[in-house]
C-alpha cells in the first residue's frame, strides 16, 4: 500500500487524471477506494450506492467503443486550433480526447451506481443523486491519496442501456458515473481555481466581498 497523504494535501492537489498507464491496479487498492466511497454521507443514511468493478478486456473494449462514439457525437466536431476553445481549455480538451480514444486500455473501470433509481423527472432525484456524488468525491480523493489517477466521467450514459445489458445491471439501477482508475501519466496539482472572494456572497447574493 503506498504511503498516504494528508486530507488537505489531497484536496488541494486532486485533479482529473485522464492519461493512465495500462499497468495493473491491485485488488487491495480498488477495495480501499470503494471503502472510502462508502464512508460518504447519504440522505437518511440510506447508502443508495453500488459499485461495479470492470477489468474484463472484452467488456472494456466495448465500453470504450460506446464512450468514443458519445465523445465524437458530443465534442468531436471541435477544432482546437481554430479558436473554438480558449487557450485555458485546450489542455483539458486534449486530455479528455486522449481518454476517449484510450478508455479501453485503463486497467480498472469503476461504475458508481444508484440503486432503486427514480423515474426521469422525479422530484426526489436531486436528493438521491446528492447521496451518490459525495461517494464519488470520496473515491476520487482516495485515489489521489493513494497515488492513483482517476476522473469523473459520464459520457458512457449516451449508451447506458447497452452498458447495462453488457454488464447485467438491473433496470432499477442507474449508472451515475464511470471512474477510470490507473497509475497516472503526468503529475498532480496544485490546481488553479477562482479565488474564494469571487465566488462567496454574504447575507445576500449581491453582497460578495470585493
Q: pLDDT (tens digit, 0 to 9) for every residue of the chain, 210 residues total?
A: 666 788 898 899 889 999 999 999 999 999 999 999 999 998 888 899 999 999 999 999 999 999 999 999 988 777 666 666 666 677 788 889 999 999 999 999 999 999 987 766 666 666 778 889 999 999 999 999 999 999 999 999 999 999 999 999 999 999 999 999 999 997 887 888 889 988 898 888 876 555
CA 97 to chain CA centroid, nearest Å: 15
User: What pLDDT shows up at residue 34?
Assistant: 98
**At a CB cut-off of 8 Å and minimum separation 6, what does 13 contact?**
144, 188, 189, 190, 191
173 Cβ contact list (under 8 Å, min separation 6): 50, 113, 114, 115, 116, 117, 164
Work out the angle between the directed axes of helices 57-74 and 87-102 (0-180°, nearest 10). 140
HSE-CB of 10 using CA atoms within 13 angstroms? 19
Count of alpha carbons within 13 Å of 34, Cβ hemisphere only? 17
**CB atoms inside a 10 Å sphere around CB 104:** 19
pLDDT of residue 80: 63
Integer Cα distance of 105 and 110 in angstroms: 14
What distance in Å separates the CA atoms of residue 70 and residue 74, rounded to the nearest whole number?
6
Measured CA to CA in angstroms, residue 24 lies from 74, 105, 108 at distances of 30, 11, 8
Domains of the chain by start residue, with CATH: 7-54+108-208 (3.40.109.10)
Q: What local confidence, expressed as pLDDT, does residue 207 receive? A: 61
Q: Give this prediction's pTM.
A: 0.89
* CA dist., res. 210 & res. 198, Å (int): 8
Locate cell 485546450: which residue?
90
Amino acid at each position: 500500500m503506498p504511503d498516504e497523504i494528508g486530507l488537505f494535501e489531497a484536496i488541494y492537489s486532486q485533479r482529473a487524471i485522464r492519461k493512465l498507464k495500462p499497468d495493473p491496479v491491485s485488488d487491495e487498492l480498488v477495495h480501499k477506494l470503494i471503502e472510502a466511497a462508502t464512508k460518504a454521507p447519504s440522505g437518511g443514511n440510506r447508502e443508495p450506492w453500488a459499485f461495479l468493478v470492470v477489468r474484463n478486456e472484452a467488456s472494456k473494449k466495448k465500453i470504450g467503443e460506446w464512450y468514443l462514439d458519445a465523445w465524437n457525437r458530443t465534442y468531436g466536431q471541435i477544432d482546437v486550433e481554430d479558436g473554438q476553445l480558449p487557450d485555458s481549455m485546450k489542455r483539458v480538451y486534449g486530455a479528455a480526447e486522449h481518454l476517449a480514444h484510450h478508455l479501453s486500455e485503463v486497467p480498472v473501470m469503476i461504475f458508481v451506481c444508484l440503486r432503486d433509481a427514480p423515474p426521469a423527472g422525479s422530484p426526489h432525484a436531486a436528493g438521491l443523486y446528492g447521496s451518490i456524488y459525495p461517494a464519488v468525491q470520496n473515491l476520487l480523493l482516495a485515489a489521489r491519496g493513494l497515488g492513483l489517477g482517476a476522473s469523473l466521467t459520464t459520457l458512457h450514459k449516451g449508451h447506458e442501456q447497452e452498458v447495462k445489458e453488457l454488464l447485467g445491471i438491473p433496470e432499477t439501477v442507474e449508472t451515475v458515473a464511470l471512474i477510470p482508475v490507473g497509475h497516472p501519466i503526468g503529475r498532480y496539482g496544485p490546481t488553479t481555481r477562482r479565488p474564494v472572494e469571487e465566488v462567496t456572497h454574504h447575507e445576500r447574493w449581491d453582497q460578495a466581498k470585493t
